[in-house]
Amino acid sequence: MTFRTLSAYSFALLLGAATLSACDDDTEKPATGTLNVELENVVGSQPLTLGQSYSTLAGDQITVSKFNYIISNIKLTRDNGTVWAEPESYHLVKQAETASRSFAIKDIPTGYYTKLTFTIGVDSARNTAGAQTGALAPDNDMYWSWNSGYIFLKLEGTSPQSSNGQIVYHVGGFRTPYNTIRTVSPALPAGTASLAISKDKTPQLHLKADVQKIFTGPTTIRLSQLSATSHMPDAKSVQLANNYAAGLFSIDHIHTGE
């Protein structure tokens, strides 16, 4: 049966049936699909390996011992402009924990999506909410307890250019003037018009996070000048956040999936 052969009368009936079934959530659910997200932390063109030495674009030497961040409130915008938001969208990524570097986003309505948006950090509502579990549990090494709230990004390591040899960047804070919540929309890879979500194929979106981009952007960061944030929101954290909002994440490629 095709629409071409339907009379106006039966078309109206069909519409009625569609309306009826929409009221009954057990039957026809809208078709949905899954997107796998894979995060690869890199330093410029090289993969990030903890304990290995790299150099920043400004020429400082850095060795990373810890690199963690929280991605939240993932949204996908469709080619028709509608926006789908992942419910309970909080993902903690730790370089030291392989499993944390990939996750699946489920129940996305099928369709063609042209934009990915997410927050680096945690919205202020959850920063002031009660005890959380999962990615936001306060025992994940990403929480300040006396000035309470989440640490959005942690970079720790060593550098010969740092006055005490250490790098300790703990970026967080959700109150003005030291609000470091940043929302980004990295572009789809050149030549990719959209991301197709379908019932039978699970595409894989490969995000890269380039540690070098923490040190460049609106402010060039030299380890001799800024090797540590205070363990609370401050002006230095805002500089770091502005840098990493400008370019930490890029969508490297998308596998269409099988």
C-alpha distances out from residue 248 to 124, 146, 211, 242, Å: 22, 29, 7, 10
Q: How far is the CB of 127 from another protein (least distance, A)?
A: 7
Contact string 87-126 vs another protein (x = CB under 8 A)? ----------------------------------------
Contact string 146-175 vs another protein (x = CB under 8 A)? xxxx-------------------------x
Contact string 122-141 vs another protein (x = CB under 8 A)? -----xxxxxxx---xxx--
User: Rounded CA gap, 133 and 131, in Å?
Assistant: 7
Strand 90-94 versus strand 61-78 pairing type: antiparallel
CA-wise closest residue to 236 among 165, 142, 168: 168
Binding status of residue 143 toward another protein by CB under 8 A: yes
- Output the CA torsion sign for 101, 105, 106, 110: negative
Q: Taking CB under 8 A as the criterion, which residues in 171-210 touch another protein? A: 175, 177-178
Q: Taking CB under 8 A as the criterion, which residues in 224-253 touch another protein? A: 232-235
CA-wise closest residue to 141 among 127, 157, 152, 125: 152
Q: How far is the CB of 143 from another protein (least distance, A)?
A: 7
Between residues 15 and 235, which has the closer beta carbon with respect to another protein?
Answer: 235
User: Rounded CA gap, 159 and 12, in Å?
Assistant: 71
Give residues in contact with another protein (CB under 8 A): 127-133, 137-139, 143, 145-149, 175, 177-178, 232-235
